Structure 1
């Protein structure tokens, strides 16, 4: 009893307080890049150990060292750069065309009632169609050159971009738009200063998806009707059972996708610094 009374009479500085952990971080992701690279290095090391110890038949799964040697030989002979340049040209052309059209249509759907009624109907009907299935028809329309391959990539990129853009426009808080309208801000200024920044996170997320879509479509298109390109190289290596070169092409595609992802991360850091 005396101890309790003494503690109640003690000043606030003499009383020991229990620290409370901060709980308002807002689910902010922490930088954990090292853990991912360490896990990848462990997987590659175990893969190399399995190949060197003879646990896996090298015909079915070559060791990482054999894949690295295959990539080195391809780079030394110049075949790697030839195939890679054709694939990059097709991806770049198709992605730019599809993204430009998708951004325009997506903003039209998000801002216009008439465009929304017409556009969503067509997108909902045509989006589920596998775009690679249209390649024979595009070859019939556009010829057997590069145009049908680029058009296939552009179609796949267009629908995903349009959906992400008008979803981002819909996600912009309407109170911000009404506030700008109440101050008699011109329409073009509302689009460029309110809607465009508000929809940018969804647009960049769409870019991340369309980059993968373009990579998938270019490989499929090159496997069907191309002499040069990473897809054609992978198909040829698979037909000849050269699994080290086949996986070398797969690794090159993975590295290309990783480079595109880093580029989009850089764009997000530059354009979304206000978040």
Structure 2
């Protein structure tokens, strides 16, 4: 190799090394920024709790109206030590899980039928939309007549609330698949089953998972309504029982539990999005 070629190679190596050194710090701030955003998402709740505690300790908030967070925490430990809180929480989680599994299955099947078939849409979509418009409280008396006030009534109400977000988002996701992708699949010789498995369902998956996130929130809303009538256990029953004895600390505790469960459920849905949509460019960046 001539001196000129050696000099050019050395310069190229120096340029590459400098570019790598300049690029490596740019990735690190992105990681720090992402962690900072995660911490920032918890900043407002933490500040709210601190201000709430200070106002309660200063006597500006009456314990009968809104007890201090420290009192709510002490109440939680007391109920945990007696075992009542964990029992009620477990019962509510089982009801929510059973209702969610039933409602999600029904909503997914109906969404696939309507998403693929205009005939199915004409036959059942209008009826589903009419049922969806009925409020929980309006349907509750009839559900009690049908199923009583036992576990079946509570699971049915949760399933009813979960069905519609899954149904709507499944149908929407199937209808929004790019027709060019379908045409490309047909050109590649894919059959109907392969088109559905490799193109349509993956393309509809972001919308379906969005429906799952909405359905998780709706499940707890429906369960709260269900557990206020004739329940002998559960978080909703705990709140109603505390209301009878004006135990605002227990009532606030149940509200906090619902909020934490909602955060955890949303975290699970986001985890599923990152795992199942790793191929998607938008979700890939979010990982």
Please state which band the TM-score falls in when normalised by the shorter chain.
0.7 to 0.9
Matching residue within 166, 171, 176 for 1:161: 166
Paired position in structure 1 for 2:233: 228
1:98 CA displacement: 0.4
- The two structures have a TM-score, normalised by structure 2, of 0.83
Name the structure 2 match of 1:70.
75
**Secondary structure in structure 1 of the residue aligned to 2:228:** helix
Structure 1 residue 256 displacement after superposition = 1.0
Runs of 4+ in 1 over 6 A off after TM superposition: none
Deviation string for 1:57-81 (max 9, x for gaps)?
Answer: 1110111101111111111110011
Task: Tell me the secondary structure at the aligned position of residue 59 of structure 1.
Answer: coil
Matched-pair contact (CA < 8 Å) for 1:106–1:161 = yes
Structure 2: how far apart are the matches of 1:254 and 1:124? 29
Q: Is 2:209 the counterpart of 1:207? A: no
Question: For the aligned residues, what is the CA RMSD?
Answer: 1.5
Aligned to 1:131: 136
Q: 2:149 aligns with which of 130, 134, 144?
A: 144
| Contact 1:135/1:149 (8 A) holds in 2 | no
> How many residues are aligned here?
247
Question: What is the alpha-carbon distance in structure 1 between the residues aligned to residue 240 and residue 144 of structure 2?
Answer: 20
2:207 maps to 1:181 = no
Q: How does 1:73-84 map to 2 (within 5 A)?
A: 73-84=78-89
Q: Where in structure 2 are the equivalents of 1:46-125 lying within 5 Å? A: 46-125=51-130
Cα distance in 2 for partners of 1:266, 1:191 equals 24
Q: Which residue pairs with 1:35 in the alignment? A: 40
1:85: how far off? 1.1
**What is the TM-score of this pair, normalised by structure 1?**
0.86
After superposition, give the CA deviation of every residue in 1:93-147 in whole Å (9 maximum; x if it has no partner): 1100000010111011110111121222112221111134323222222233211
- Partners in 2 of 1:187 and 1:135 — Cα distance? 42
8 Å Cα contact 2:111-2:168 kept in structure 1: yes
CA contact (8 A) 2:162 2:219 kept: yes
Matched residue of 1:224: which SS? coil
Deviations 1:159-182, CA, capped at 9 Å, x for gaps: 121011101111111111122123
In the TM superposition, residue 207 of structure 1 has moved relative to its aligned partner by 0.6
